[in-house]
Amino acid sequence: MAYWKFISTEKTETECFLRRLFGHTDRVVRETGEALRVAEGDTLFLHQWRRDSRGYLSGPFVAASDAGKWLQETAWKHKNNHIYWQVEIDWDQPIYSVSVAKIEQLDSQPLTVEDHPQPLSDVTGLWLEGFLKNEGIQTVHHP
């Protein structure tokens, strides 16, 4: 099992939840040289980026599929379909959210919040999952 952080904006966040789908653009694949290697069962987090702040992190989510191109071709039409690396998501426990500012205020943090999707180490993923459950606000109940 691996840990991954995805990113959304105010315009894409609702669609992520309605479609139960996270994704990212090919730009990240071109820049890093790595395809999105999310596997079914991996633990996922969502960084909801905001213009007026660093946003907040939510999770944990579960990858309900392996990542692939165009799992839902009609997703994010308002973004001109540039978000075509996609992974289906689900959750089997409550989802918690915490502001990125709260994480960044900690004296020691194993997480640097980037503004793009990123794989997380096991240590960072476990830490973030625990931090969200202990310090976050429950935002989504178990379905």
Digit-coded pLDDT (tens) for 22-44: 988 766 666 665 667 899 999 99
What 8-state DSSP symbol labels residue 78? G
What is the Cα–Cα distance from 115 to 133, expressed in whole angstroms? 22
In sequence order, what are the residues at sequence separation of 6 or more whose Cβ sits closer than 8 angstroms to the Cβ of residue 112?
none
| Structural domain containing residue 16 | 3-140
Digit-coded pLDDT (tens) for 87-116: 999 998 999 999 988 988 887 777 777 767
List own/partner pairs for 11-18 with CB under 8 A and 24 or more apart.
Answer: 11/78, 11/79, 12/76, 12/79, 12/83, 13/46, 13/48, 15/75, 15/76, 16/46, 16/89, 17/140
Looking up residue 134, the CATH number of its domain turns out to be 3.10.590.10
Ramachandran category for residue 99: left, alpha or beta (phi over 0 → left; psi -120 to 50 → alpha):
beta
Q: Count the domains in the chain.
A: 1
Tokens read off for 71: 């799992």
- What's the pLDDT score for residue 77? 74
**pTM of this prediction?**
0.88
User: Rounded mean pLDDT of 15-26?
Assistant: 86
Digit-coded pLDDT (tens) for 28-85: 666 665 667 899 999 999 999 876 668 899 999 999 999 888 888 888 776 565 777 8
Cα 116 to chain center, whole Å?
Answer: 9
